Structure 1
Amino acid sequence: MSGIDTLPPLRAVIADHGLSARKSLGQNFLLDLNLTAKIARQAGDLSQCDVLEIGPGPGGLTRGLLAEGARRVLAIEKDARCIPALEEIAAAYPGRLEIINGDALEVDPLAHLTPPIRVAANLPYNIGTELLVRWLTPEDWPPFWQSLTLMFQREVAERIVAAPGSKAYGRLAILAQWRSSARIVMSLPPEAFTPPPKVSSAVVHLEALPGPRYPADPAVLSRVVAAAFNQRRKMLRAALKGLAPDIEDRLLAAGIAPTERAEQVGLEQFCALARALARP
């Protein structure tokens, strides 16, 4: 009998441990074990991987990851109330679940993980985007992770996979698509969660590429994209004038009309502009 078969239903776990979701922690619990198993499967073959999970709560996705064969799971949970429930899962899967009671923005998980590493999480809404940006912008590439399988608000998920010309297209799309392959793999309605959030959710799967799609200095590209989208209604010659006195010439050198706006410019062109700006 597998460990998941010996554990009580999540609703019973929540009742036994008094785990009402806290808005201050961005908590919305996913209690349907069929759904959590499906999310775990979207992360790919876990049998040879360590998995990092952020914000496991009562452990619905944690159970799914272990049942799907994850070699080891490192679960980082800020809410101390959830630790006893997670320890029950650890007892059902001896030696395969390590729990850290701490803030995911402050804990270095790499001391506890052995490559290859995948990340799978129903991220707390209040830190999800910040964690994603950190994982997409390490000093060295390839990153520590092979893939990220992450739950976001639907609006954030659409920003990650957005194409040029859409309202959702912006800095997050550039960061995600420059060095990874990103796609939405699941959609979930509010009623799938306890308590139901006011918005729909979606799971995004990102696979790390060996290197960037197009050459560019990461720091220069980041500055260009930030400046362009911070004033996305302006023409690029105005939005980017602070980056170089001859910005129109550099835009033209990158094949971009100075009168275009940020949302009209594709990833390849932004990389070309970053290279043009990096030249003396």
Structure 2
Amino acid sequence: MPSTPSFHRRGLLAALLLPLALWAGTAQAADLAEIKKRGYLVVVTEDDFKPFEFIKDGKPTGFNHEMVDALRKYAPFEIRQEILPWPGILAGVATGKYDIAISAILMTKERTQSLDFTSPIADATHYYVKRKDDGSIKSIKDLNGKTVGVQTGSAFLSRLPELQAMLAKDGGKIGKVVEYASYPEAYQDLALKRTDYVINTVINLKALVAEKPGVFELGQAVSGASYPAWAMKKGNTELQKFMNEFIAAQKANGVMPALQKKWFGEAFNLPVSYTPVH
């Protein structure tokens, strides 16, 4: 695998700017006591990451949006929600612009340096998806040298060595890596044959294939276990505890398993906590 993969120009720019954004902010995320005192929690969610969160007929929907609705009934304060594209979310939380990101944020070792996470909300092992009519890809070894699409800032970028190790067993290597601002853009380029396959979590790819079975076909796992969770600024332990209590309550009362079945097709037996090693 090359030491520096070839990146989509826009994706490379975002990757370069994100570390600066994480350190440049001066805002301080509110702790739980301040949130209760002022009377509201500032939540941010992504705008286009189906089935976790997306816009349909002009209205936000998806698993996380319904969990936000449940949070409104649970919390003793107002929930103020903002919806925006993925590239601004992590920096906004890490710098204190938003109190918490209720989005499908994969926990990684790198991200835990500037963010704290709640309990996992789903299983998000990475798979690849290809065009259904592409007979050249039948297994992981066939990904050798082919162009792959991923989202800018995707946690999978830190786990590419896992796929590289799989390919190396047959003498192969990862080809060009193209980054996109959103996954719908990546899927569009895949359909147009500008890339050969796209990597995303199995939940998202199952939703894609179910929506467009004549265009796409689900491949195989290209990483070990991964878990998404909600994120807040590092050190905001009381808010983290409150949100974990909320998640535990939604598991106990059946709301969270029901929403998992509705949006993901199954309820998961998830760990209460998870320490990423990648």
Instruction: Name the TM-score, length of structure 1 as normaliser.
Output: 0.26
Higher relative contact order (CA 8 A, sep 6+): 2
Which structure has the larger Rg? 1
Report which of the two has the higher share of strand: 2
Instruction: Name the TM-score, length of structure 2 as normaliser.
Output: 0.26
